[in-house]
Amino acid sequence: MRSTLLSRAFVGLRSIRSTALVTQDSRRNCCSFTQRRASYGCMNLPSLAAPNFGFIRRTATTSPSARIITSAIHSIAHKEPVVSAEWLHANLREPDVKVLDASWYMPDEQRNPFQEYQVAHIPGALFFDVDGISDRTSKLPHMLPSEEAFAAAVSALGIYNKDGVIVYDGKGIFSAARVWWMFRVFGHDKVWVLDGGLPEWRASGFDVESSASGDAILKASAAREAVEKVYHGQLVGPTTFEAKFQPHLVWMLEQVKQNINDQTHQHIDARSKPRFDGIALEPRKGIRSGHVPGSKCIPFGQMLDNSHTLLPAGELTKRFEQAGISLDRPVVTSCGTGVTACILALGLYRIGKTDVPIYDGSWTEWGSVSDTPVTTA
């Protein structure tokens, strides 16, 4: 009798969670992310962190009607920003685990991430288009979309707020960190990067799917189309994901300007030292070389080991301290276009700094504006 009651209570809880999903009105007027920041900046939005949440695993007991509820990742849910290939392999079929291939490459690499996804990806993974799920009103590459656009795109991928999201890329840890940060910016803390990405998955001997299903291709296309519709004020389908913008995780150009004088945050640039010093040309045309006055350079590769997995906390701490960063003070990170800055944020998260903002426009914006100060070596 007691087992039956427990089973019914669990089913009831699942039902309540399902009916509690919030459906947004996708016909709200959408403005650019930059315009929205001004209004969000004066709001004190709460964090959505839920430290007691874990994925639910259900295993049969001696009684067919009874279930034991255990947490698969409760111990690492809000302490670690990454999960191992072994963990993902063991939990890949859990219904609340959604896997995203967020591969993206520099333009000069001439690689097509969506084509590569269709050739080989982790079983069941969906493709997250870094360039497509972005602010369509900005001339800068892959800037953050609006709340409405992100919610519409993620909903098109079939993701709910209750889901745990695992993000990976084709390099190890590269663009996946950007998407990890994007989910957190929009209030979803149940997100992790696959440590070592697809290379580590394959090196561990785990299978990949060599062709994408029609459903997966349709979802990737639907996510891009949903963003387009939102920015054109068109009706989109019902949303399964509610986005809640967290302004403290994003910086804009004016905040970086102000910080040069105020020095409230230590500014770390993730680009290579030659680019930081202004010795090497920027990969994009029309961008000045150099760095923001007062910033320091820690190339993103210093966060990773030779297998492109995230370094242990102790080693990460040494890297930051050797670069003159005081971990007792606030930090803001930037890079070329807001991608590898997120790898610095990933490393800082592992050592306990979980509220690091990213300068979204990064050097592509700063170096292309005529009135921004630039320092060279």
pLDDT tens for the 377 residues of the chain, in order? 334 433 433 333 333 333 333 334 443 444 444 444 444 333 333 333 333 333 333 333 333 333 333 445 454 556 899 999 999 999 999 999 999 999 999 988 999 999 999 999 999 999 999 999 999 999 999 999 999 999 999 999 999 999 999 999 999 999 999 999 999 999 999 999 999 999 999 999 999 999 888 999 999 999 999 999 999 999 998 999 999 999 999 999 999 999 999 999 999 999 999 999 999 999 888 899 999 999 999 999 999 999 999 999 999 999 999 999 999 999 999 999 999 999 999 999 999 999 999 999 999 999 999 999 999 98
CA-closest candidate to residue 100, choices 175, 49, 50: 175
In a domain, 268, yes or no: yes
Domain-terminating residue out of 200, 232, 264: 232
In this structure, the answer to whether residues 80 and 227 fall within a common structural domain is: yes
In a domain, 294, yes or no: yes
Kind plus residue range of the DSSP H or E element containing 167: strand 164-168
φ, ψ dihedrals at 19, nearest 5°:
-80, -10
pLDDT at 237: 86
In a domain, 17, yes or no: no
CA-closest candidate to residue 57, choices 67, 71, 78: 71
**Tokens representing residue 208 in the block:** 């990949």
The residues near 215 (Cβ < 8 Å, ≥ 6 apart) are: none
In this structure, the answer to whether residues 87 and 161 fall within a common structural domain is: yes
How many Å apart are CA 309 and CA 289, to the nearest integer? 30
CA-closest candidate to residue 176, choices 160, 163, 164, 194: 194
Query: pTM for this structure?
Result: 0.82
Distance of alpha carbon 101 from its chain centroid, rounded?
Answer: 11
Count of structural domains within the chain: 2
In a domain, 62, yes or no: no
How many Å apart are CA 300 and CA 222, to the nearest integer? 32
How many Å apart are CA 276 and CA 281, to the nearest integer? 10
In this structure, the answer to whether residues 301 and 343 fall within a common structural domain is: yes
What per-residue string of b and e applies to 338-365 under the rule 16 or more CB within 10 Å gives b? Answer: bbbbbbbbbbbbbbebbebbbbbbbbbb
> Which residues carry out catalysis?
335
Range of the domain at 320: 247-368
DSSP type of residue 334: E
Query: What CATH number is given to the structural domain containing 347?
Result: 3.40.250.10
In this structure, the answer to whether residues 224 and 118 fall within a common structural domain is: yes
In this structure, the answer to whether residues 227 and 253 fall within a common structural domain is: no
In a domain, 182, yes or no: yes
In this structure, the answer to whether residues 210 and 263 fall within a common structural domain is: no
Helices (H), the chain: 2-19, 33-40, 85-91, 113-119, 147-156, 175-185, 197-203, 214-231, 253-262, 273-277, 313-322, 341-350, 362-366
In this structure, the answer to whether residues 265 and 352 fall within a common structural domain is: yes
In this structure, the answer to whether residues 172 and 267 fall within a common structural domain is: no
Domain-terminating residue out of 182, 199, 232: 232
pLDDT at 107: 85
In a domain, 65, yes or no: no
In a domain, 55, yes or no: no
Is the C-alpha dihedral spanning 85, 86, 92, 96 positive or negative? negative
In this structure, the answer to whether residues 150 and 288 fall within a common structural domain is: no
In this structure, the answer to whether residues 139 and 209 fall within a common structural domain is: yes
Render pLDDT for 62-91 as a digit per residue (tens, 0 to 9): 333 333 334 454 545 568 999 999 999 999
In a domain, 151, yes or no: yes
Domain-terminating residue out of 182, 208, 232: 232
Strands of the sheet containing 358-359, edge to edge, are 250-251, 358-359, 331-334, 266-269, 296-297
Q: What is the mean pLDDT of the chain?
A: 85
In this structure, the answer to whether residues 278 and 215 fall within a common structural domain is: no
pLDDT at 108: 85
**Tokens representing residue 217 in the block:** 């291709």
In this structure, the answer to whether residues 303 and 224 fall within a common structural domain is: no
Burial class (CB in 10 A: 0-12, 13-18, 19+), 138: middle
Torsion angle of the four alpha carbons 358, 353, 189, 12, in this order, in degrees rounded to the nearest 10 = -160
- DSSP 3-state assignment of 97? strand
